[in-house]
Structure 1
Amino acid sequence: MKFRIIRLVLIFIFMSPICIAQEGLPIYSDYLTDNYYLIHPSMAGAANCAKLRLTARQQWLGQDEAPALMTASVNGRIGESPSAVGAIFYADKNGYHSQNGAYATYAHHLMFSRNEIDLNMLSFGLSAGFVQYRLDESAFINSGFDPIISGIQQSSPNFNMDFGMSYHLINAYAHFTVKNLLKNDGINNDIEITSNLRRYLLSVGNVFKTRREGLTLEPSILYQYREGTRESTIDVNFKAYQDFEKAKMWLGLSYRQSLDGAEYLDGSGVSSQRSMYITPIMGVNYKQFMFAYNYTYQANSIVFNNGGFHQFTLGYNFNCRKVKYECDCPAVN
């Protein structure tokens, strides 16, 4: 029974897209809180305003050593030029594993329309940065000796790069990004998996007007593929925006489904399951400020903890340009 429990925990850890260590900045649903730059470098400076975003995420409240993530990002245009810069800082802790990272981004935006009133824009972005990985083995051995455990806090820095492109046409958009272009050193015997952290992201969506004044709807999807493990997931998202005189309120729902299953022993044989996450989102924009909250519930049957994952986002827009695009495009306007 003890072996079965350990096996189930290990299966959950390795099948869950939110628990893989040494992978760089984790990808949750925070990009839906007006924060696409976190996952797509080509979105740096794409908006009408420069953006500052702070996020704090806590998983499994009450659980010791539960995963936690904090990020800070800023991006904006360089004056009136088509070029933009951005930066991301983050601290991610997951039990005995932790990582701190910093990325710098350069992006360039090409307008195909005659002026900025009509949105027809192709963008390119390149991010480069360092991630400091840490593994605390000091509590692994209570007594005795194990030759494969050093019993110290190990640390390893890695340099990597992300490249992405985005296309906006009035209310429609598409993003494609390759994260972790370079290979790392690897951390175990299966070097191909742990050194190849390359991940491919594809986002598409559109914003639709409704008959109700000020109400717009935005369906979108995000597809992810990990090259090293050949795993893929898909997010199906839906958001609704309501404009008011001085504010905008929005609600959303995201469903993440793993396209690959994992096998486990259920007492009567071997079963399999796929990870599933349901995330309701709510937010408000008031003048130059933004606040958002999202809660993630893991819906598959075998889970480490029934507690959800809470995330808060604070934002501030500055250096806004005078001319706005004539489109319902919240990620840009």
Structure 2
Amino acid sequence: MYMDFKNTFFIVVGFLFFQSAISQEGLPIYTDYLTDNYYLIHPSMAGVANCAKVRLTARQQWFGHEDAPKLLTMSLNGRFGESQSAYGAIVYSDKNGYHSQTGAYVTYAHHIMFSRSEVDLNMLSFGISAGFIQYKLDETTFPFDGSDPIIDGIVQSETNFNVDLGFSYHYLDYYAHATVKNLLKNSGVNNDIEITSNLRRYLFSVGGVFGKLGSDWSYEPSIMFQYKDGTQEASIDLNGKVYKDMDFGSIWAGVSYRNSFDGAQYLDGSGVSSQKLRQITPLLGVNYNQFMFAYTYTYQMNSLVFTNGGFHQLTLGYNFNCRKEKYDCKCPAVN
């Protein structure tokens, strides 16, 4: 009974919820980038702000269930002094059932200014991240009698090197980002399966921040599209955030809706049905002087789910080496 439950758990997770459950994909793409953390997914955002930034995130899925997915990340990025060049670093640990991965990236970014003055924001940025990912597959609890050549009954481990490339463009209150993640071929711990060798992922983000002149309120709609090359899966995030300026900094809230373009089939007792990944994520945050705190909760909107419990994530941040805000724009990612 216990093994049947465990097998059912991972079949459901791996088959239906590929966005939050596929291992061996490098740093997973959730909605934590909306918590003032675009550098996590776009290397060109390293050092784009007027402050250096440290961000810590902790994500836990399905509280109370053994081996439920969980993710920890820590990132740092900033400028090299007063230059247009920037640095960044990311370390993370991602565990999902029998699979786990740890990774570390370093980033170099460069920002080219086209502004006529420091009042108008017009900036093109390029970034490259390189790092190592160690994958592990724990087969020690698998039923093992030597008859299945795929199962060795040990902890398999493999370390891969990979590269991310991206660019960003900021013009006044608007922005656009494009990134290719996992550019190189990957072996992982399942190198006999073709799709695990190609983990290339394409990300595109566009958005803008709007508000009346002199108002303490501003609004930020944005879209993020992602495409997985190896499995030909695509999804889109539709996002909205609202900011309120305060004496101590700002408070903000928002919501993100993720919808996949690809469905998964399953047996429903009377035949074969299909459903697409649909998630909605409310988020709430506060910037207090140089500190930042945010909470997000992701709810699965599908009819067939492993559990009704959602995904909780906390983000803690600290800004340092801040320079005076340069640009007359509603651009929270830069000013």
TM-score normalized by the length of structure 2: 0.95
* Residue 96 to residue 3, structure 1, CA distance change in 2 (3 Å): closer
**1:133-181 deviations in Å (ceiling 9; x for gaps):** 0011101126675432111111100000000000000100000000000
**Aligned-pair Cα RMSD in Å:** 1.9
For 1:11 and 1:20, locate their aligned partners in 2 and report how far apart those are by CA, in whole Å. Answer: 11
* Residue 185 to residue 5, structure 1, CA distance change in 2 (3 Å): closer
For 2:317 and 2:4, locate their aligned partners in 1 and report how far apart those are by CA, in whole Å. Answer: 46
For 2:12 and 2:94, locate their aligned partners in 1 and report how far apart those are by CA, in whole Å. Answer: 21
**1:233-266 deviations in Å (ceiling 9; x for gaps):** 0000000000011120000100000110111111
Q: 1:252–1:280: 8 Å Cα contact kept in structure 2?
A: yes
Alignment of 1:191-270 (within 5 A): 191=194, 193-210=195-212, 213-270=215-272
- 1:74 aligned partner: 76
Q: Return the offset for 1:115.
A: 2.4
Aligned AA for 2:312? H
Match of 1:44 among 43, 46, 65: 46
Q: Return the offset for 1:211.
A: 7.4
Percent identical pairs in the alignment equals 66
Match of 1:288 among 283, 290, 305: 290
Alignment of 1:156-175 (within 5 A): 156-175=158-177
- 1:183 aligned partner: 185
- 1:328 aligned partner: 330
* Residue 169 to residue 103, structure 1, CA distance change in 2 (3 Å): same
For 1:208 and 1:91, locate their aligned partners in 2 and report how far apart those are by CA, in whole Å. Answer: 36
Q: 1:83–1:108: 8 Å Cα contact kept in structure 2?
A: yes
- 1:272 aligned partner: 274
Q: 1:237–1:252: 8 Å Cα contact kept in structure 2?
A: yes
Alignment of 1:308-323 (within 5 A): 308-323=310-325
Match of 2:134 among 129, 132, 135: 132
Q: SS of the residue aligned with 1:130? A: strand
For 1:79 and 1:222, locate their aligned partners in 2 and report how far apart those are by CA, in whole Å. Answer: 31
Q: Return the offset for 1:15.
A: 3.6
Q: 1:4–1:265: 8 Å Cα contact kept in structure 2?
A: no
Aligned AA for 2:119? I
Q: 2:251–2:287: 8 Å Cα contact kept in structure 1?
A: yes
Q: 1:210–1:217: 8 Å Cα contact kept in structure 2?
A: no
Q: Return the offset for 1:39.
A: 0.1
**1:9-58 deviations in Å (ceiling 9; x for gaps):** 62541342110110000010000000000000000000111100000000
Q: 1:11–1:262: 8 Å Cα contact kept in structure 2?
A: no
Q: 2:191–2:197: 8 Å Cα contact kept in structure 1?
A: no
Q: Return the offset for 1:322.
A: 2.2
**1:210-243 deviations in Å (ceiling 9; x for gaps):** 4782000000010000000000000000000000
TM-score normalized by the length of structure 1: 0.95
Task: Please list every run of 5 or more consecutive structure 2 residues that lacks an aligned counterpart in the other structure.
Answer: none
Match of 1:102 among 80, 83, 104: 104
